[in-house]
Chains A and B, each alone.
Chain A
Amino acid sequence: MSEVGAIVRVTFLGGIRDRTVFGIFILGLLLMLTVPIFSYFSMRQTTEVAAGYSLAVISVIGLLLTVFMGGNLISRDIDRKAIHTVVTLPISRTRYLLGKFIGLALLLLISLLILYLLAAVAVYFTSYQYPPSRPLQWETYLLVMISEYMMLLVISAMSVLFTSFATSTFLPMALTLAVYCIGQSTALVKDYLDKAPEAKQISSLVSFFAKGSYYIFPNLSAFDMKNAFVYSLPMDLQYLLTVLLYGLFYLSVVIFMATYFFSRRDLT
């Protein structure tokens, strides 16, 4: 597997030396510095606001990093023909793609660890000054981080799938963003169609497609556990485990599809 490791390393280097990625990361750090300022605007629940705000910043930065890096992951190699010198080495396209994905996953992990660490410091000091109504559950914070990371991995896998057949850099980014938007809302839409009395007036075709989207696209809202930490709610470990298994299964299927398409693609 040393060949996969070589691709992981180069992908990781590409990420940390990319000015746009660096810019997004710095933006995240700067936004994190504003946590105490914005949370003080709140007259009450200052710590809850600080926690909610910092976790939201991490979500946005994580998404930006995923969409940008994921969209560029293979498309840029193809555009600049750098791929011609890599896949012509004794490495299968499947391993090349896996190396790229793992490199991206590693980069996201390190970025998230730094951002979550800074957010934890900001929230801790805010809670020290303005004690929350319920004590903060730091073990829940860790679980929030794990579920958020799994969500970003699922989105990354989707972007890898799109880059496996797309011919431009823009298309995978646009499609990944679209999947994110759809994935955040399908559960809500399905819930509405199942339970709301007004939903009976909606045509069966629209209802069919909306429910179909729920099963086809990843249910990203399931990974959102931020409120559990913000309001110190009890965490259902079984639920978390189910969500993680769902994410792992979903990304495995998507990566498998990506390798299938990519292995058959002409790299002219």
Chain B
Amino acid sequence: MTAIQTSGLGKVYTKRLTRKVVALKDLNLEVERGEIFGFLGPNGAGKSTTIKLLMNLIRPTTGDAKILGIPVTEASSRKKLGYLPEEPNYYGYVTAKELLEMVGRIHGLSGPEIEKQSTEILSFLDLPFEKRRTIAGFSKGMVQRVGLAQAIFHDPEVVVLDEPMSGLDPPGRKLVADLMLRMRDQGKTIFFSTHILHDVEVVCDRIGIITGGQLRFCGTLAEVISETFSSYEVVLRKVQPEQVRNLKAKGFAAKTFEDNVKVDVSKEDLPSFVDAFVQHGTELVAIEPKRFTLEDFFMGFIDSAEASSRRT
């Protein structure tokens, strides 16, 4: 059974009675159990709309979504689900413990279970126990940690996190990343949205890239980072100036750096290129594959989405 499944999911907002805005179009997605799935996209791409649809905060215009096989329109679909909203906001007049008590009661936990669990989680996330300190007096980072506490309070099987690292300082970001990896090791599924690419590289097993309300890519990080390179950077020494001119004349991008020359060579041209230079007494210093970083990959989708939107 998949942890999260959407089929043909779409959302069209109506603004000012007549204007239609397509926020999400025909999203078909399957997130398997036990994986960390990063949902990437620029601002306004449809990440939050997808998450709001998964959490039944908004109703889909087309399609449907299921969590652990249960339609998201049923409250029971959220029994084994934890959710951290983007910029979480809680009842400012309650203490962290009172909030967790409400969450525990709604999840059907008993009084002693709530007591034990809240003590553990509050100390793990370094949150205050004081009876008089309400959430209204918490810093942004503390509120984010309260959000994490309530999301994992009932030991959920699936956790949906909307921009979980935003507003956190470096130790806070590390705490969240470690927590995600720990939950994955326990067999939990994590679906999280972000536009911070470093977070994705650190924790994700698979990613989905969404732009303009459409899913453009869905695959593993290895597919993105390791296999998507098309050229090599060849570093040569003792290259004659005439040879450099020849290279440039043939269309190679060659840069002189101290007494080295760096040349971009395509996969296909590499064997003949190396042979030709070595035979002429040039010293070969290094051959490095030019890998696409996740950033290059991501920006490529954004650029193509922008280009297609300009065309239409």
Contact = CB atoms under 8 A, between A and B. Distances in A.
Interface of A: 2-3, 5-7, 9-10, 13-14, 17-18, 80-82, 84-92, 95, 264, 266-268
A3 B105 CA distance: 6
A41 B299 CA distance: 81
Given A10-B94, A85-B83, 8 more contacts: A3-B106, A5-B105, A17-B93, A80-B92, A81-B89, A85-B147, A88-B56, A266-B58
Contacts of B103: 89
Contacts, number: 87
A70 B21 CA distance: 33
A9 B102 contact: yes
Contacts of B107: 89-90
B87 A82 contact: no
A233 B274 CA distance: 112
B57 A268 contact: yes
10 contacts: A5-B105, A6-B101, A81-B89, A88-B83, A89-B78, A89-B103, A90-B77, A90-B81, A91-B75, A267-B58
Interface in B86-119: 87-94, 98, 101-103, 105-108
B79 interface: yes
A89 B108 CA distance: 11
Q: Which 6 A-B pairs have the closest CB atoms?
A: A6-B105, A266-B58, A17-B93, A3-B106, A90-B78, A89-B106
Contacts of B150: 85
B75 A85 contact: no
A55 to B, nearest CB: 31
A267 B89 contact: no
A2 to B, nearest CB: 5
A80 B57 contact: no
A267 B81 CA distance: 19
Residue of B83, B92, B105 with highest tally of chain A CB at under 10 A: B105
A92 B78 CA distance: 10
A2 B93 contact: no
B57 A2 contact: no
Interface string B41-66: 00000000000100111110000000
B85 interface: yes
Contacts of A264: 59
Contact of A85 (B76, B88, B98, B134): B88
A14 B99 CA distance: 12
Given A13-B98, A88-B83, A2 B75 contact: no
A91 B81 CA distance: 12
B57 A82 contact: no
Nearest to B58: A266
B91 A268 contact: no
Contacts of B81: 88, 90
A68 to B, nearest CB: 15
B57 A87 contact: yes
B52 A81 contact: no
A268 B105 contact: no
Contacts of A87: 56-57
Contacts of A6: 101-102, 105-106
Contacts of B88: 84-85
Contacts of B55: 84, 88
B106 A10 contact: no
A267 B150 CA distance: 20
Contacts of A89: 78, 103, 106-107
A14 to B, nearest CB: 5
B105 A2 contact: yes
Given A82-B91, A85-B85, A266-B58, A90 B75 contact: yes
A266 B94 CA distance: 26
Given A2-B105, A6-B105, A89-B78, A14 B85 contact: no
Nearest to B110: A2
Contacts of A92: 75
A95 B91 CA distance: 18
A10 B78 CA distance: 20
Given A13-B94, A13-B98, A90-B76, A266 B59 contact: yes
B91 A267 contact: no
Residue of A2, A14, A85, A91 with highest tally of chain B CB at under 10 A: A85
B89 A10 contact: no
A9 B99 CA distance: 11
A79 B85 CA distance: 15
Contact of B87 (A3, A18, A81): A81
A5 B106 CA distance: 9
Contacts of B58: 266-268
Contacts of A88: 55-57, 78, 81, 83, 85
Interface string B137-162: 00000000001001000000000000
A92 B74 CA distance: 8
A231 to B, nearest CB: 43
A91 B106 CA distance: 7
Nearest to A89: B106
B19 to A, nearest CB: 15
A114 B133 CA distance: 28
